[in-house]
Amino acid sequence: MLLIGVDCAADPRNVGVSFGTLADNAVCVERVFSGRNRDSIIDNIGSAIRANAGPALLCLDAPLGWPHALGNELATHTAGAPLKATADQLFARETDRFVRQVLGKRPLEVGANFIARTARAALGLLESIREVADQPIPLGWEPLRKNDGCAALETYPAAVLACRGLTLPGYKKDRAKREQVLASLSAELHISDDLRAAALSTEHALDAVLCLVAGMDFQHGLTLAPTPELQEAAKKEGWIWVRRKCEY
């Protein structure tokens, strides 16, 4: 099956994109790039989905929703009036709190950070890809079957590393650490020397490749779905698909 990883950004020049296929317990990386314009990104992804004969997972590194409490509060708020909800309720989603609980990683808060611009850009990108691919591309909630089409996931590259016990702070700015990331994932990522160089060229390209690994975890049923009490919030706010910490 086809996996597409996208490290989203408000500026398309900072978007990373990767393509791969799922083969047993590994991802075969087939293409990696970053620094393209928006139309090129959309055309490349849309064309790949259209040409794909089987199911496809579009794995996006960006929030795909906002905190429910934030929307409720702001809908009736007037300037100068206090807000009733706590800061955590307003700015973080249930999935953010869940990831923090199970992995000890704190995702950026879409309600209180510049990541909101990335989220808006990601949602616009997703809608444009739907149009080019001529498919609805709903959010995925369970592994895809052979006859399914394309689904989109919210992923978190830092969690891909954290759940595997890989602590490499600063890899986004340090190529040597990015090389360590790929080396640590060599059993799960099959990648040619040319594509390895492309993946190491920017933090965005590498994070796009890590999105492929997150997609593999989801497809293998290893990621944590919303608990029954969080399902309604997840449908409204979005859900980050991460796996529990591996035991080594």
Q: What angle do CA 218, 221, 226 make, to 5 degrees?
A: 75
Residue ranges per structural domain of the chain? 2-237
Element (H, E) at 32: strand 26-34
Rg over alpha carbons for the chain, rounded to the nearest Å, is: 18
Q: What's the DSSP call for residue 53? A: S
Q: What's the DSSP call for residue 21? A: E
Interval 229-246: pLDDT, tens: 999 999 999 999 999 887
Residue of 159, 185, 180, 160 lying closest to 170 (CA atoms): 180
* Residue type for position 25: N
* Residue type for position 56: A
Please tell me the predicted confidence (pLDDT) of residue 247: 58
- Which pLDDT tens digits describe the chain residue by residue (248 residues)? 999 999 999 999 999 999 999 988 899 999 999 999 999 999 999 999 999 989 999 999 999 999 999 999 999 999 999 999 999 999 999 999 999 999 999 999 999 888 999 999 999 999 999 999 999 999 999 999 999 999 999 999 999 999 999 988 899 999 999 999 999 999 999 999 999 999 999 999 999 999 999 999 999 999 999 999 999 999 999 999 999 887 54
Question: For the chain, what percent of residues have pLDDT higher than 70?
Answer: 99
Interval 4-33: pLDDT, tens: 999 999 999 999 999 999 988 899 999 999
Quote the CA–CA distance of 122 and 62 in Å, as a whole number. 7
pTM, entire model: 0.96
Distance in Å from the first CA to the final CA of the chain: 29
